[in-house]
């Protein structure tokens, strides 16, 4: 039996100036739906969320919501009140729905997202921490419908995996925009694609969407082949008939004109990246005993690495651990506290930064690029004008005249990507390159990085890119930077295996050891203590297993329940280790 419809979109159209964003969109959203929205940058994904949230009015059509529907919305770049603390921001934003006495619920959600310093001012937060605060604000309010615009931007991989698991198990209705293909595949039961003002709805997850789109494109190609064949016949007929008569049947001419204008294939120019590069020398880049601290916190120390030709390395770790700092040390933008960075004479860096670069919003796209170069040389030796290269990067002639202030976040990132790569570097440094980029641009970037004959160093939360483009990882851990040979999926397999091995090796008391007997060297009191410890340890093992089972098999747990059980489990594990250590001490006497 289908679930209740909580929101209906009927004949929705939106036009901004001369640009049609949507045309005749119809959609019914059922309770429990998890709908992912995909499309190229500037296609209107974020705009659709703004319409649903009520922050923008459509040109035509209606959005009908269930009368008592509560809604939580996280925009892509939400300005945060800098004077407030984390807790004040999360609680104050929900005061209309919650009383101050429910503050514990918000604290529980913040704790789950590793934001335990509730009194920290928002203006001191990193990009990832700001994103976590925004997510906590929305999720803790427990709305009926959750709207998220690029929720994984700036988050570390552990938080993304936690969020993915949370949303997958949640019974809440979700509509979200994301470029994270693994995230879309794990969560969605429907995919809505916006392409050239048209919307296409696919049932299933991202893998199902890719399969269905391939079928749709194949069908469009068949129709286009038939159209071309019919057009050729009609044109041949007109040419033959022209010799025999001075006038042509009007209906026949109209039919030819219709065939000419009715192409089934939408022109989708591919973003092409092809730049020359200087050959690397024997010495590329060497890091010797690099250490760096910030505000008394050691980020990393004694890092050693000698880069080899064509080495491609991904960097992962929690927010604020020093990943970007390491990139800036390598690029020469900041100095290490100790150690040396040796750069080869032929090494040429390209650094694509995570933070928005400063630019004049009044400049046009064309004017911005020609500040750096009016002619760009490709790998094959051809020289392209800035106008031609922008066209290759999906900026048509009309878009090239647009001011930077009118571009979407993803369109700006695509432009900055072109600027950072176009001078032919042989060592590419990328800091969260996937933020705000659409999936089509990501796929082309990944193709380029696959074929790139040079070194790559990339900080990213995009698991797909880390699987496809890197061969080694620098993993920021509590005790330093760990080097791992392999991609992200390889790392996950090894990490999970090691975790399982550690659990299996947790000391347990076998039957022979548990039998009650006198141990040499123990007093009567110690022998009695040993016997009691045996029973206590067995009881603790049962309690720990029951709590672990309740966490893994109860998807309906509230945030408060989850926090309470986790804390209880932590305390029991500490007590278990203490009892076990005492048992070992006595048994070895």
Residue-wise pLDDT for 253-297, tens only, equals 565 555 555 544 444 445 455 666 677 888 999 999 999 998 788
| Residues recorded for the chain | 589
Which 8-state DSSP code applies to residue 268? -
Domains of the chain and any CATH numbers: 5-210 (3.40.50.300), 285-489 (3.40.50.300), 506-587 (1.10.287)
| HEC string for 74-89 | ECCCCCCCCCCEHHHH
Instruction: Count the neighbouring beta carbons within 10 Å of the beta carbon of residue 475.
Output: 18
- CA 201 from centre of chain: 22
- How wide is the angle at C-alpha 572 spanned by C-alphas 569 and 576, nearest 5°? 135
Nearest Cα neighbor of 466 from 82, 123, 182 is 182
Transcribe 516-575 into DSSP letters.
Answer: ----TT--HHHHHHHHHHHHHHHHHHHHHHHHHHHHHH-TT--HHHHHHHHHHHHHHHHH
From CA 12, how far away is CA 425, in angstroms rounded? 46
Q: Can you tell me whether residue 99 is helix, strand or coil?
A: coil
Give CA 537 to chain center in angstroms: 43
Q: Quick one: how far is CA 565 from the chain centroid?
A: 29
How far apart, in whole angstroms, are the C-alpha atoms of residue 209 and residue 75?
A: 25
Per-residue pLDDT of the chain (589 residues; tens, 9 = 90+): 568 899 999 999 998 877 888 888 999 999 999 999 999 888 889 999 999 999 999 999 999 999 899 999 999 888 888 788 888 888 876 654 445 446 667 877 888 888 878 888 888 888 888 899 999 999 988 899 999 999 999 899 999 999 999 999 999 999 999 999 999 999 999 999 998 888 899 999 999 998 888 888 888 788 778 777 777 766 676 666 555 444 445 565 565 555 555 544 444 445 455 666 677 888 999 999 999 998 788 999 999 999 999 999 999 998 888 999 999 999 999 999 999 999 999 999 999 988 767 889 999 999 999 988 888 776 666 778 888 888 877 788 888 999 999 888 888 988 998 888 877 789 999 999 988 888 888 888 888 888 888 999 999 999 999 999 999 999 999 888 999 999 999 999 888 888 887 777 665 544 444 444 444 567 777 777 877 887 888 888 788 878 777 766 665 666 677 777 777 877 887 887 788 777 766 765 6
Q: What is the rounded CA–CA span in Å between residue 206 and residue 202?
A: 9
Strand duo 60-65 + 455-459: pairing: unpaired
Query: What's the angle, vertex CA 356, arms to CA 454 and CA 447, rounded to 5?
Result: 30
Residue of 171, 143, 183, 488 lying closest to 313 (CA atoms): 488
CB neighbours (10 Å) of residue 498? 10
- pLDDT of 183: 94
Question: pTM score, two decimals?
Answer: 0.73
Residue 331 φ/ψ, nearest 5 degrees = -75, -5
The Cα–Cα gap between 208 and 203 comes to 7
Q: What is the pLDDT of residue 144?
A: 94
Which of 206, 211, 108 minimizes the C-alpha distance to 557? 108
Contact between 530 and 587 (Cβ < 8 Å): yes
8 A C-beta contact, residue 580 and residue 530: no
């Amino acid at each position: 039996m289908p679930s209740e419809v909580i929101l209906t979109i009927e004949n929705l159209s939106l036009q901004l100036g001369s640009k049609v964003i949507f045309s005749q969109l119809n959609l019914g959203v059922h309770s429990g739906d998890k709908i992912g929205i995909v499309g190229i940058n500037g296609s209107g994904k974020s705009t659709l969320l703004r319409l649903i949230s009520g922050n923008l009015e459509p040109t035509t059509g209606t959005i009908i919501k269930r009368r008592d529907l509560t809604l939580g919305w996280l925009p892509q770049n939400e300005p945060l009140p800098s004077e407030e603390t984390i807790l004040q921001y999360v609680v104050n934003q929900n005061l209309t729905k919650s009383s101050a006495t429910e503050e514990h619920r918000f604290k529980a959600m913040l704790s789950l997202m590793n934001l335990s310093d509730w009194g920290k001012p928002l203006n001191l937060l990193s990009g990832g921490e700001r994103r976590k605060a925004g997510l906590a604000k929305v999720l803790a309010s427990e709305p009926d419908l959750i709207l998220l615009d690029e929720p994984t931007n700036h988050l570390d991989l552990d938080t993304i995996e936690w969020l993915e698991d949370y949303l997958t198990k949640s019974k809440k209705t979700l509509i979200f925009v994301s470029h994270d293909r693994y995230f879309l595949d794990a969560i969605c039961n429907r995919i809505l694609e916006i392409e050239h003002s048209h919307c296409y709805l696919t049932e299933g997850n991202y893998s199902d969407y890719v399969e269905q789109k391939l079928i749709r494109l194949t069908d469009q190609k068949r129709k286009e082949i038939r159209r071309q064949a019919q057009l050729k016949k009609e044109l041949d007929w007109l040419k033959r008939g022209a010799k025999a008569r001075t006038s042509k049947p009007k209906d026949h001419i109209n039919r030819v004109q219709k065939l000419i204008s009715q192409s089934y294939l939408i022109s989708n120019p591919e973003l092409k990246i092809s730049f020359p590069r200087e050959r690397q020398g024997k010495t590329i880049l060497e890091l010797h005993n690099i250490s760096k601290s910030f505000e008394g916190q050691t980020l990393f120390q004694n890092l050693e690495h000698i880069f080899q030709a064509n080495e491609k390395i991904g960097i992962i770790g929690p927010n604020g651990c020093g990943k970007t700092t390491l990139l800036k040390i390598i690029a020469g933008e900041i100095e290490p506290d100790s150690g040396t960075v040796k750069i080869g004479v032929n090494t040429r860096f390209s650094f694509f930064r995570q933070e928005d670069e400063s630019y004049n919003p009044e400049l046009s796209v064309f004017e911005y690029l020609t500040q750096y170069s009016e002619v760009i040389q490709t790998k094959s030796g051809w020289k392209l004008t800035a106008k031609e290269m922008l066209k290759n990067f999906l900026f048509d002639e009309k878009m090239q005249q647009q001011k930077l202030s009118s571009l979407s976040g993803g369109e700006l990132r695509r432009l900055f990507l072109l600027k950072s790569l176009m001078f032919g570097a042989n060592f590419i440094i990328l800091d969260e390159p996937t933020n705000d980029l659409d999936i089509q641009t990501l796929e082309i970037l990944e193709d380029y990085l696959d074929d790139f004959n040079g070194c790559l160093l990339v900080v990213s939360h995009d698991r797909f890119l880390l699987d496809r483009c890197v061969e080694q990882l620098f993993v920021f851990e509590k005790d330093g930077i760990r080097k791992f040979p392999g991609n992200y999926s390889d790392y996950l397999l090894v990490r999970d295996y090691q975790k399982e091995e550690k659990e299996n090796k947790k000391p347990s008391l076998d039957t022979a050891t548990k039998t009650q007997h006198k141990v040499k060297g123990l007093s009567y009191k110690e022998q009695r203590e040993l016997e009691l410890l045996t029973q206590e340890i067995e009881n603790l093992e049962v309690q720990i297993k029951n709590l672990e089972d309740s966490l893994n098999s109860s998807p309906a747990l509230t945030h408060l329940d989850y926090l309470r059980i986790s804390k209880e489990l932590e305390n029991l594990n500490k007590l278990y280790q203490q009892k076990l250590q005492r048992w070992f001490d006595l048994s070895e006497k």
